[in-house]
């Protein structure tokens, strides 16, 4: 039987929960080995979250043998550790297109399967979902249905998890909390909760005081012990926590020996060996400049929400261990504690994935902004980020941050402007500042002439006669805007491309330049609603400049996963598409029929 199932995995034949329930213990152990080998073989090629999934193979199999999904609701906190769940629920054939446009998502997806309840990828939320499902079960007298939330010890560093536990324990509704304790979030888990989990009682006293019965600690790789623990949990009749201790990356030597994150995520393997980006990455450019500034200024401190290495603070922590603070997966706490440090005379820098700052907007607005605290937010992975999909695109940051009074926002176009922006942010008082940049390799530095507080990348800032098209390029979109300008001018259309450098507030000079052009376009990889294009329109209206403006940006929809370049093309944010839009706008302004280049 075990050989048959291993072959079915290799050949892409779907497995289902009933198949797993039918296995003997010996067969199940062999199947676990087959699943682990399947993950390594496929995820190393496709890229994705490897270490976290290798650690939950036995835990996932035991869940699906003990419970009956989807009638029993299994909710995966963060969701990056749901690959084994996908294998067991019929999706092993889809791993050939994992995280590829049109292929399988790297997170649970309601479109893929009835077994996926929550398209979750932000931490500390599963317990709140579980509480809600349990409330619905109670109201509908659905006593036979179980609600299971799988949450890591890293996610327990987030405040929302404790808000949910406060309610789950008090109400005594049937919720089974499966604690996947591997000592990690992305970085090693921080805080007193982590210490309590490794006391002699595994922290059971803490959870029992909150009203949860505790089972364990259990060896999270012992299938018999896991099934026994889950069966006990089913009989509890109220909230219960099953504490499972697992090893991240188990069974794959490179993951087990990776001291940074146990191969939490791996990039896709290419046909040819990948070479290091010749110009480095955006994150590396930030990291290097921050180190230089910190050497000059002892008041510079850094704060991270459990993402020390991904956001470029690894070398900072090595050099200045007393000046970096990892608060765990607690973005809200990161922002408010940074505000207090700023009040005390320090200059906090908070590097964070753009998508995760969404969670702390209230703190940014009222704890930081209201008090005019000079905290600098460095928004990594802004805009369209690629393979991680809807929850990870950083396409809302400009719209959100523009609301904050006294906020100043820079969108650098290259490494040189990023470095200058960081220095200016840290010299700015009177309110928070932000820098946003995308994921990936730096483009070439683009030459420009400074004029009236902005950069002219192409054309003339103050032409003696009206020009045809003004393109307002936001950040990393500058390269595509220049490509559009070359194409338009090849067709006899005069073009000016400007980079405002600071996209909020926009320099008034952009209105003066727009007045000297027949039409204008703004180009950004933020959502159209409330972005730089909106600000541009508002500025022209306020200054009574009548130049028609077209805003090119991300449509207000949750964008899928896929290659960044392909997604930008689908959104009309490539040089060719920008040129087409500019030509159509110009023809419309002149009363002519626009033509299509066929792109």
pLDDT of 198: 77
Give per-residue pLDDT as tens, 293-347. 999 999 999 999 999 999 999 999 999 999 999 999 899 999 999 999 999 999 9
Predicted confidence (pLDDT) at residue 387 exceeds the cutoff of 50: yes
For 353-365, the pLDDT digits (tens) are: 999 999 999 999 9
Q: What Cα–Cα distance (Å) separates residue 116 from each residue in 96, 183, 391?
A: 19, 26, 15
pLDDT band of 267, cuts 50, 70, 90: low
Provide the pLDDT for residue 433: 98
pLDDT over 70 (residue 258):
no
Whether the per-residue pLDDT at 514 is higher than 70: the answer is yes
For the ranges 82-86, 202-206, 271-275, 387-391, the maximum mean pLDDT occurs at 82-86
Q: Which range in 159-173, 381-395, 530-544 is most confidently predicted, on average pLDDT?
A: 530-544
Element holding 240 (H helix, E strand) = strand 240-245
Outline where DSSP puts E strands in 427-548.
Answer: 433-436, 449-451, 454-458, 467-473, 495-499, 502-504, 517-527
Mean pLDDT of 503-517: 95
Checking if the pLDDT of 598 tops 50, the result is no
- 200 burial (CB, 10 Å; 0-12 / 13-18 / 19+) is exposed
The yes-or-no answer on residue 566 being catalytic is no
pLDDT value, residue 271: 43
Annotated binding-site residues read 80, 121-123, 153-155, 182, 252, 331
Pick the catalytic residue: 99, 359, 413, 501?
359
Q: In the CATH hierarchy, which top-level class contains the domain 449-590?
A: alpha beta
Write out the two tokens for 360: 């702390």
pLDDT tens track for 438-474: 999 999 999 999 988 899 999 987 888 899 999 999 9
Task: Give the confidence band of 597 by pLDDT, cuts at 50, 70, 90.
Answer: very low
More confident residue, 143 or 493: 493
pLDDT tops 80 at residue 389: no
Task: Describe the strand order of the beta sheet including 433-436 as a list of residue ranges.
Answer: 324-326, 300-304, 347-353, 376-380, 433-436, 408-410, 502-504
At 186 the pLDDT is 58
Residues annotated within a binding site for thiamine diphosphate: 80, 121-123, 154-155, 182, 252, 331
Rounded distance between C-alpha atoms, residue 355 and residue 89, angstroms: 29
Q: What's the CA gap between 267 and 43, in Å, rounded?
A: 9
Please check whether the domain covering 57-80+99-250 is classified as CATH 3.40.50.970. Answer: yes
The single residue of 227, 287, 289, 331 carrying the catalytic annotation is 331
What DSSP element (H or E) covers 136? helix 126-139
The predicted pLDDT at position 410 comes to 97
Residue 163: the pLDDT is 95
CA torsion angle 124 128 129 134 (round to 10): 140
pLDDT of residue 571 exceeding 80: yes
CATH of domain 282-436: 3.40.50.970
373 vs 461, residue with greater confidence = 373
The answer to whether 468 touches 586, Cβ cutoff 8 Å, is: yes
pLDDT band, very low/low/confident/very high, at 12 (cuts 50, 70, 90): low
Q: Give the H or E element holding residue 165.
A: helix 159-171
Which pLDDT band, with edges at 50, 70 and 90, does 261 fall under? low
Residues of each annotated binding site for Mg(2+): 153, 182
Distance (Å, whole) CA 409 – CA 345: 22
* The pLDDT of residue 190 is above 50: yes
Kindly state the average pLDDT of the residues 57-72. Answer: 96
DSSP one-letter code for 198: T
For residue 135, indicate whether it is catalytic.
Answer: no
Supply the pLDDT for residue 596.
Answer: 35
Tell me, yes or no, if 248 is annotated catalytic.
yes
384 pLDDT higher than 60: yes
Q: What is the pTM of this model?
A: 0.88
| Of the listed ranges 20-34, 88-102, 263-277, 508-522, the one predicted with least confidence | 263-277
Q: What is the pLDDT of residues 100-135, one digit of tens each?
A: 888 888 888 888 899 999 987 788 999 999 999 999
Q: Give CA–CA dist 236/245, Å, rounded.
A: 21
Name, in order, each residue with C-beta under 8 angstroms of 275's C-beta and a sequence gap of 6 or more. none
Phi and psi torsions of 245, nearest 5°: -100, 120
Whether residue 533 is predicted with pLDDT greater than 70 in this model: the reply is: yes
CB-CB contact of 147 with 69 (8 Å): no
Q: What is the dihedral of CA 253, 257, 260, 263, to 10 degrees?
A: 0
Sequence ranges of the domains in the chain: 57-80+99-250, 282-436, 449-590
Q: Is the pLDDT of residue 568 over 60?
A: yes
Q: Flag whether pLDDT at 253 surpasses 80.
A: no
Predicted confidence band at 594 (pLDDT cuts at 50, 70, 90)? very low
Q: Please give the mean pLDDT across all residues of the chain.
A: 89
């Amino acid at each position: 039987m075990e050989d048959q199932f291993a072959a079915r995995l290799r050949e892409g034949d779907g497995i289902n929960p009933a198949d797993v329930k039918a296995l003997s213990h010996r067969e199940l152990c062999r199947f676990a080995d087959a699943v682990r080998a399947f993950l390594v073989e496929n995820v190393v090629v496709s890229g994705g979250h490897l270490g976290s999934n290798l650690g939950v193979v036995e835990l996932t199999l035991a869940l699906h043998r003990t419970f009956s999904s989807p009638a029993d609701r299994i909710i995966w906190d963060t969701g990056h550790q749901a690959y084994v769940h996908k294998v067991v629920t019929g999706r092993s054939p889809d791993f050939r297109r994992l995280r590829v446009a049109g292929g399988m998502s790297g997170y649970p997806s309601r479109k893929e399967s009835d077994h996926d309840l929550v398209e979750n990828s932000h931490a500390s939320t599963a317990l709140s979902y579980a509480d809600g499902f349990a409330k619905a079960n109670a109201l509908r007298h659905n006593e036979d249905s179980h609600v299971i939330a799988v949450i890591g010890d890293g996610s327990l560093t987030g405040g929302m998890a404790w808000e949910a536990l406060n309610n789950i324990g008090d109400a005594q509704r049937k919720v089974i909390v499966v604690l996947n304790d591997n000592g990690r979030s992305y970085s090693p888990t921080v805080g007193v909760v982590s210490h309590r989990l490794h006391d002699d009682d595994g922290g059971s006293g803490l959870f029992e005081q909150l009203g949860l019965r505790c089972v364990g600690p259990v060896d999270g790789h012992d299938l018999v012990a896991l099934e026994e623990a889950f069966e006990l949990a089913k009989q509890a009749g109220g909230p219960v926590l099953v504490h499972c201790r697992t090893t991240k990356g188990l069974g794959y030597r490179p993951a087990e020996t990776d001291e940074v994150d146990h191969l939490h995520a791996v990039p896709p393997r290419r046909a040819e060996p990948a070479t290091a980006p010749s110009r480095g990455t955006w994150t590396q450019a930030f990291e290097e400049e921050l180190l230089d500034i910190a050497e000059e200024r002892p008041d510079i401190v850094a704060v991270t929400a459990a993402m020390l290495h991904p956001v470029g603070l690894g070398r900072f922590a090595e050099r200045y261990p007393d000046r970096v603070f990892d608060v765990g997966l607690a973005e809200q706490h990161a922002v408010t504690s940074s505000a207090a440090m700023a009040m005390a005379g320090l200059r906090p820098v908070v590097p964070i994935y753009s998508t995760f700052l969404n969670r702390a907007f209230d703190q940014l607005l009222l704890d930081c902004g209201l008090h005019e605290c000079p905290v600098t937010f460095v928004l990594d992975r802004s805009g369209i980020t690629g393979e991680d999909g809807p929850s990870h695109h950083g396409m809302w940051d400009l719209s959100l941050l523009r609301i904050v009074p006294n906020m100043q926002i820079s969108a650098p176009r290259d490494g040189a402007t990023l470095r200058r922006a960081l220095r200016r942010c840290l010299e700015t008082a009177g309110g928070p500042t932000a820098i946003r940049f995308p994921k990936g390799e730096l483009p070439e530095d683009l030459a420009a002439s400074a004029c009236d507080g902005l950069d002219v990348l192409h054309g003339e800032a103050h032409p003696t006669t009206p020009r045809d098209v003004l393109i307002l390029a936001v950040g990393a979109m500058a390269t595509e805007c220049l490509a559009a300008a070359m194409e338009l001018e090849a067709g006899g259309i005069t073009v000016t491309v400007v980079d405002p450098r600071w996209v909020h507030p926009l320099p008034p000079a952009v209105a003066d330049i727009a007045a000297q052009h027949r039409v204008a376009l703004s180009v950004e990889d933020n959502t159209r609603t409330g972005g730089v294009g909106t600000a541009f329109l508002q500025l022209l209206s306020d200054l009574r400049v009548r130049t028609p403006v077209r805003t090119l940006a991300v449509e207000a929809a949750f964008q899928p996963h896929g290659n960044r370049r392909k997604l930008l093309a689908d959104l009309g944010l490539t040089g060719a598409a920008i040129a087409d839009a500019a030509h159509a706008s110009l023809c419309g302004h002149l009363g002519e029929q626009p033509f299509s280049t066929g792109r």
